[in-house]
Amino acid sequence: MALFISFEGGEGSGKSTQAGRLVRALNDMGVPTQFIHEPGTTNLGRHIRELIKGSPWGRETISHEAELFLFSAARAELAAKVLSKASEESRLVIVADRYVDSTVAYQGYGRRLPLNLMDSVNRLATQGIMPDLTLLLDCPPVEALKRVGQIQAGLFDDGDSVRRDEAGARRFEDEPLAFHRRVRSGYLKLAGIEPERWLVIDGTKDEDAVFDSVWEAVTGMEKFRHVVEQSESLERDRAPEHLGETTLFPLSGSQRGC
């Protein structure tokens, strides 16, 4: 079975940067990777991403419930078309920039949709395919949002009153600070429920320090070592005898771009 690693975090937490660095480091080692984005990766996922992010219908927006089902539709397509096959490959590391936990944090805790109903939707969409390790880049919302230039005067209102458009929904980046605090709280609750799957990393540290924590967590996994062994075995089978053996593990800091 493939090693499945997901990155989670709020807006501006740096998870996409760290996910990309991990993929590049693994590729430098010669370890095959499958990099997936949520929503995205599949044709349907990319179209749904444009619908959610781009609002092609103008000022009209979608309900929170519709938003949940759009994300879930993209995830169901991803599980059916990509993950169901990729997860069976023992030499592969799957790296996800967001996965099912984002829905729980954003639509469940952030939007306050019923968590019990969301659990049923998520189980159907994922086909039971879950990460082996979920890395949560935890960062206070005020600091994280400053990184993406989204802090505005009205964003510091701790209440839930916020200017809304005709359909009563806003893009995540434009939500009030209270929303982002609920999302962060939701993530931390999820990490507390499944500590064997989650690792919370201090996202306020500099990029290299954060990646050191990511790399230590990934390379310390027994399943990762198994994937590396499988990759080494494949390389030995392919290489002419006179070339000798290639060692893929461990990787020095300079090699992984730190």
Q: How far apart are CA 171 and CA 97, in angstroms?
A: 18
Q: How far apart are CA 154 and CA 152, in angstroms?
A: 6
List per-block mean pLDDT (blocks of 10 residues) for the chain, which spans 258 residues: 95 92 94 91 90 69 89 95 93 95 96 92 95 97 78 43 34 80 97 97 95 97 90 62 46 46
Q: How far apart are CA 186 and CA 154, in angstroms?
A: 23
Residue 98 inside a domain? The answer is yes
Residue 159 inside a domain? The answer is yes
CATH number at residue 228: 3.40.50.300
pLDDT of residue 234: 59
Residue 165 inside a domain? The answer is yes
Residue 32: which of 95, 122, 85 has the closest Cα?
Answer: 95
Examine residue 114 and say whether the peptide bond preceding it is cis (omega within 30 degrees of 0): no
Cα separations (Å) of 175 from 25, 64, 137, 151?
34, 13, 20, 10
Number of domains in the chain: 1
Residue 119 inside a domain? The answer is yes
Q: How far apart are CA 34 and CA 94, in angstroms?
A: 5
What's the domain range around 33?
3-243
pLDDT of residue 184: 97
Residue 248 inside a domain? The answer is no
Residue 253 inside a domain? The answer is no
Three-state SS at 136: strand
Note whether 144 and 202 are within 8 A (CB).
Answer: no
pLDDT of residue 187: 98
Question: Buried b / exposed e across 145-159, counting CB within 10 Å, b at 16+?
Answer: beeeebbeeebeeee
Residue 254 inside a domain? The answer is no
Burial class (CB in 10 A: 0-12, 13-18, 19+), 163: exposed
Residue 256 inside a domain? The answer is no
